[in-house]
A = this chain, B = another copy of it.
Amino acid sequence: MTQSTISFSPIGIIHSEHTVAKETPIQPTYAKGCRGTVEIFPEFTKGLQDLAGFSHLYLVTHLNQAPEPQLIVKPFLQDIPRGVFSTRAPCRPNAIGLSIVELVGIEGSTLLLDSVDILDGTPLLDVKPYCAKFDLIENTRNGWQDEVDEATAQKLGLREYEANK
């Protein structure tokens, strides 16, 4: 099977208070109160029209500080090796990140965000609205994640963020 190369260019850049990977919450759900912004490059500003009506956005990012890809990883929430595609770990074959952040406001070409789990300076590839019609799936099975209780997840999900505040 030929594996062609696919090229993308960033449409913007993320600014956040997170500058050290191990002190960065692993998911937006553990990053409440972490403000951040997205600077959309001027040539794409027009595409932000109508976005302000949405409370939550998917940010598709290039995890440019991710470690080398590994197929088996220990996820942040559990000390058991798992297949990388069953985790949200950054050391994936393609270092593509997916974060659901809260949209607080839009000022020109800047998105004001809450619940930001993304390292400062991360390139942005795409913005999509979180749409309840498409994205709110109830009654899912969540594999090994169902073994992690919420209190443990909250604690581990923050990583060293709280300890270093």
Residues of B within 8 A of A10 (CB): 3-4, 6
A98–B141 contact, CB under 8 A? no
A51, A92, A140, A146: residue with the most chain B Cβ atoms closer than 10 Å: A140
A33 at the interface (CB under 8 A from B): no
With A7-B7, A44-B71, A136-B137 in contact, is A92–B51 under 8 Å at CB? Answer: no
A164 within 8 A of B: no
User: How many copies of this chain does one complex carry?
Assistant: 2
Residues of A within 8 A of B (CB): 1, 3-11, 13, 27-29, 41, 44, 46-56, 58, 60, 62, 64, 71-72, 82-88, 92-94, 96, 98, 100, 123, 125-138, 140-146, 148, 150, 153
